[in-house]
Amino acid sequence: MIFKKYLNKKFYLNLSVILFIFFLDRITKEIVINIDKENFSQQIFLSKYLDIALIWNRGVAFGIFSFDENYTYNILTTLIVLVVFIIFYMILKNDGLKRFSLLLIMGGALGNLYDRIFFSAVPDFIDFHIGNFHWFIFNVADIFITVGVIFMILIEFIDNNRNKINEKN
């Protein structure tokens, strides 16, 4: 088996991180969906800076590229599946903080991919705002994806600076 060398303690730890993120995302989405049904699609929670209100996102991150056409939606979903496979490959090839960042991205990506496949949309519900300025509405999976991407960017900056310092010496 080609993946046999990867089935070790580290693999199961990595899988645990991904599954924790996936199930945390699923649980929060199910809670919000059920409360939304009970409240007849009214806003669930309102405060000065945070609202919890369910919206169904057919686009990519934060509702960007939302489409009503099934053909375009299916192409977008297929591209996301390909990206998930690429991230999986990258997880196998990296270590340390870079691998952890990819695990965060993978857990969130699988949570949102699940929704795209089974609901044809991703439930978003966290709405931060200051006055009338609202940030994009997002979910728990989006938080992990964003944190993972931020870590990846920081790692690249640190590695680039380290390489420049080493080149000068």
Q: Which are the catalytic amino acids?
A: 124, 142
* C-beta separation of 23 from 143 below 8 A: no
Cα(160)–Cα(157) distance, rounded to whole angstroms? Answer: 5
* Secondary structure of 2-51 as H, E, C letters: CCHHHCCHHHHHHHHHHHHHHHHHHHHHHHHHHHHHHCCCCCCEECCCEE
What's the CA gap between 99 and 116, in Å, rounded?
25
